[in-house]
Amino acid sequence: MHLIIDGYNLIHAGLFQADMADLELDRRRLIDYLSAYQRQKSCRITIVFDGWKEGWLTEQKERQKGIDLVFSKRGEKADEVIKRMVREKGAGVVVVTSDREISRFAERMSVPVIPSEQFLVRAERAASMPEKEKAFEDKEEGQRKKGPSKRLSKKVRRARMALKKL
């Protein structure tokens, strides 16, 4: 599974007390947090940050603590970078954002979207839950009602499948 995360959106979703004066500190804390999550879940994570106001003239990519970081170029928002990545990578990714525009775009491309707040809840639960409880939780989620009238929409089913992997 490959997670594409809207970096500043996740920071402002309540991960920690965002400090507008020191975004560099918030970015480092987010990278540390997601690096620990990645080690536990063994998934690929790409965080996209805005660089459109004060960024570089070209898009910058780097890797820190096993996490791929992408900074949009000056004049380009992270939203456009995420949309481009979704277009290129297709259904093999999961997008983590609460941005409606990105969510709608990803859903049109049949890519599951996890709201930032919901991702944080899952990440916290995964960090604090022992392995035995995780196995039990997976069994409980597997029990569903049968029949066409009980079937969920494709959008909801994709989101649930992505959440199970988190």
pLDDT at 83 (0 to 100): 94
Q: What is the pLDDT of residues 93-125, one digit of tens each?
A: 999 999 999 999 999 999 999 999 999 888 888
- Among the listed residues 101, 87, 107, the one whose alpha carbon sits nearest the alpha carbon of residue 159: 107
Name the architecture of domain 2-165: 3-Layer(aba) Sandwich (3.40)
How many CA atoms lie within 13 Å of 56's alpha carbon, on the beta-carbon side? 8
Predicted TM-score of the model (pTM): 0.76
Q: Average pLDDT for residues 75-82, to the nearest whole number?
A: 88
Cα–Cα distances in Å, from 105 out to 25, 72, 97, 143, 150? 30, 18, 12, 31, 27
Sign of CA dihedral 154, 144, 164, 7: positive
Tell me, what's the pLDDT at 146?
Answer: 59
The C-alpha atoms of residue 157 and residue 112 are separated, in whole angstroms, by: 9
